[in-house]
Each structure stands twice: as C-alpha cells, then as structure tokens.
Structure 1
C-alpha cells in the first residue's frame, strides 16, 4: 500500500513538473500575440520554423558605432519576426555590399538586444531600428509585421520606409 502511494505521488509530481515546463515554454513563445491559437504551432516548432538569421549580433561589443546601422530585432519563436523575415531578406538582397555591411540581426533576448531595447526604447521584437547621427533623434524604429484579417503578415510599408531611411543616409 505504501509503495502504491509513493508511486502515485511520484507520478503526480512528474506530471506537475511537465505541466510547469509546458506552461513556461508556451508563455515565452507566445509573448507577442494575444491569440493563443495562432501560436500553438510555434510552441512545438519555434526553433524549426525560425528563419536562419545570419550575421547575428550577440554581445554589446559587436554593436557598431559606425555612422549608420540597420538592426533587425527578432526573438526565437516570434510569429511576427517569422512573418516579416522573407520580405526583409528580399529588401537586403537589393542593397549594394557597402549597405549590407551595416545590417545586423539582434535577438532581443541577448545582451546586445537588451541593450538596444533599453537605449532606443524598443518594447517588442519584430522591429527594424535605423541608427544614425544624421537622424533628428539619432534613431528611428519601424514595426516589421502586423495583424491583418486575423493573420500575421509583413508590414511592407514600414519595412519599405525603414530601408528608404537607411538608404538616404549618406
């Protein structure tokens, strides 16, 4: 009888622990949208569905102090980041190599991402940040994705505006 009680207690604790892990994982992946049903797939496939971000800045030392920078802020599992990635990549491929050198991806969960978010008052991932001394405030930010007809889609107008600003800076 005591062994049966111990087994039931152990199984109950294990199920509770799995439930807590499940809840924590789900909440961290679904942070950027109110509709949980849209994110259920991201809970199970966040790392698999994330576009392959290249040239990712991870530390504060990698943040550039050049005359102009375009930072693409993202978070693993963020559906808004995923939705806008392909459109952003299309815009990048049209740039000359001099401009491409000043484009960096930054995970908002990294040290560098937290620094940029604090410095430029960024409150969410899926943001494009153009930084330059030539801009009035020194920077301007754009939302790279939005909800439209209950779907998350690239915010093409904002992305286009970000690249226009970035291209006009000498």
Structure 2
C-alpha cells in the first residue's frame, strides 16, 4: 500500500508542475504504441493536486524510425529511474499543444524539467554518415537525475 501511495503522490506532484507551466487543458499522454502495459492519463484535476517535481516528457510519433530506434533504450532507462516519465504522441491533439508549449521541433525529443528549469534534446538523430544514431549518453543522463 505504501508503494501505491508514493506513486499516486508523485503523479499529483507532476501534474501541478505542468499546470504551473501553463498547460491548462486536460492531457492524455499515452505510451500505447510502444508498450501495451503502460498508459497514463494526465487530467486537470490530478494536475491541480501536484507540486513541483523533476520529470521527463518523451515525445514520439508512430512509425518514426528515430523514435523507434531510441525507444528501447528509453524504456530500459525509465524502468530503473526514479524520475517520472510521460510519453506524448506528437500527432495527438494534446501532443500538438505540448510540442507548441515546449517548442519541440522533431518527434524524437525528451523534455526535462528539473527544479523548474526546462531543457530538451533529441534522443535519436542522423549521424555524420546519415545513419540513425541513438543518443544513449543523453538518455542515460536524463533518467539518472
């Protein structure tokens, strides 16, 4: 029961932070495409009940080869991380609101919020030879905080 309570409280904390960032609409942030056992609904009520916390927001697009290349590393790191992570489909209505809010240019992006500071970077990109490369160092860093 203690573990469940901790999880619920962490989600509340995250939601308040997102509201403080100006996201005043209920958000549906899911990870259905990559993992059928993970789904998170972010609602305005839960959002209002939270306080500042460090979070990661992983943007993805279904069928994106960059997103697919980086997702296994992200899932692996997120699984063992204490940092709460949300997954956002950029093609959804809520995803469009979030990419606008955080100035996300391309789908394979992770936005990090740490003590109110927002940063973002690509988790996969083309290397100098034009091959898709997973930014493993960056992924490890954002999940280690």
TM tier, smaller: 0.5 to 0.7
Larger radius of gyration: 1
Q: Indicate how the Cα distance of structure 1 residues 108 and 63 shifts in structure 2: closer, same or farther if over 3 A, else same.
A: farther
Structure 1: runs of 5+ lacking an equivalent: 1-49
User: Residue 80 of structure 2 aligns with which residue?
Assistant: 94
Provide the C-alpha distance between the structure 1 equivalents of 2:120 and 2:88, rounded to a whole number of angstroms. 14
Provide the C-alpha distance between the structure 2 equivalents of 1:79 and 1:160, rounded to a whole number of angstroms. 20
Whether the 8 Å contact between 2:124 and 2:132 is mirrored in structure 1 is yes
Structure 2-normalised TM-score?
Answer: 0.62
Structure with the larger strand share: 2
Query: Which of 48, 56, 61 is the matching residue for 1:75?
Result: 61
Shift of 1:63: 8.6
Structure with the larger helix share: 1
1:125 aligns with 2:107: yes
Provide the C-alpha distance between the structure 1 equivalents of 2:96 and 2:43, rounded to a whole number of angstroms. 9
Q: Indicate how the Cα distance of structure 1 residues 63 and 143 shifts in structure 2: closer, same or farther if over 3 A, else same.
A: farther
Whether the 8 Å contact between 2:66 and 2:108 is mirrored in structure 1 is yes
Provide the C-alpha distance between the structure 1 equivalents of 2:85 and 2:59, rounded to a whole number of angstroms. 11
After superposition, what is the alpha-carbon deviation per residue over 1:59-108, rounded to whole angstroms, capped at 9, x for unaligned? Answer: 77489454232111001111110000001111112224xx3xx2111101
Whether the 8 Å contact between 1:143 and 1:159 is mirrored in structure 2 is no
Whether the 8 Å contact between 1:60 and 1:112 is mirrored in structure 2 is no
Query: Which of 18, 21, 39 is the matching residue for 1:55?
Result: 39
Query: Which of 100, 119, 122 is the matching residue for 1:140?
Result: 119
Structure 2: runs of 5+ lacking an equivalent: 1-32
Q: Indicate how the Cα distance of structure 1 residues 111 and 60 shifts in structure 2: closer, same or farther if over 3 A, else same.
A: farther
